[in-house]
Structure 1
Amino acid sequence: MSSLSTHVLDTALGQPAQGVQVRLYQGDVVLATGATNDDGRIAELAPKLEHGTYRLWFDVASYAAATSQDIFFPEVSVTFTVADERHYHVPLLLSPFAFSTYRGS
């Protein structure tokens, strides 16, 4: 089984994005929820993931409101496939008009 963590960085402010609400879905079922800590991390959102397709949903609108920012994307969904037993780390880099993500370690 694989595990999952995430990290959200606000590239416009040059700091971790604290308090971002995150949900993990498989299909339409919510498997886990959490909020990023002071370092913008959720160290263990899901300790055990079977092989399959999952979606991370990030509430960017609430974070933007809390930090007094105008932002183009009110939410971000990242769909990914777990295909092996390794740890999955999915960082999210935010700016007012863009976002990027990748598979980290």
Structure 2
Amino acid sequence: MSGRLTTHVLDLSRGLPAAGMKLQLWSLEAGEGKLLCEASTNSDGRLDAPLLEGPELVPGCYELLFMAGDYFRGSMPVFEQIPIRFNITSSDDHYHIPLLVAPGGYSTYRGS
């Protein structure tokens, strides 16, 4: 089985998936960031395809950058951008990094 990297975003202030939230995936190797992709969540708060999968999923340090300020514009969000840094240690595993977010806070964990 090939590994993959996925995410989803839940808007806790509305009790709904966060549709249309923009995000970026960065590789952080050797002290430098490299933008790997940009995407927006669908109506279910998920992406239509994995961020990385198969041979693209290599061990290393990565960052998901969620554009919460744009998503919550008009409700005075505290967090403009939410960075989540994490390590991929195995190309065979599924890494699911969800974001639970509201205008005044957020939480994350490694999901399944």
> TM-score normalised to the size of structure 1?
0.92
Unaligned runs of 5+ in 2: none
**Which structure has greater strand proportion?**
1
Counterpart position of 1:59: 67
Match of 2:83 among 72, 77, 88: 77
Counterpart position of 1:9: 10
Query: Displaced runs of 4+ in structure 1, greater than 4 A?
Result: none
Aligned CA RMSD, in angstroms, stands at 1.2
Q: Secondary structure at the match of 2:77?
A: coil
TM-superposed deviation, 1:46: 1.5
- Read off the aligned partner of 1:72 and give its amino acid letter: V
Identity of aligned residues (%): 39
> TM-score normalised to the size of structure 2?
0.86
User: Matched residue pairs, number?
Assistant: 103
- Answer yes or no: is the 8 Å Cα contact 1:32–1:46 preserved in 2: no
> How far apart in 1 are the matches of 2:39 and 2:51?
7
Is 1:96–2:97 an aligned residue pair?
A: no
TM-superposed deviation, 1:69: 2.0
Unaligned runs of 5+ in 1: none
- Answer yes or no: is the 8 Å Cα contact 1:2–1:50 preserved in 2: no
Matches within 5 A, 1:28-67: 28-42=33-47, 43-47=49-53, 48-65=56-73
TM-superposed deviation, 1:95: 1.2
Larger Rg: 2
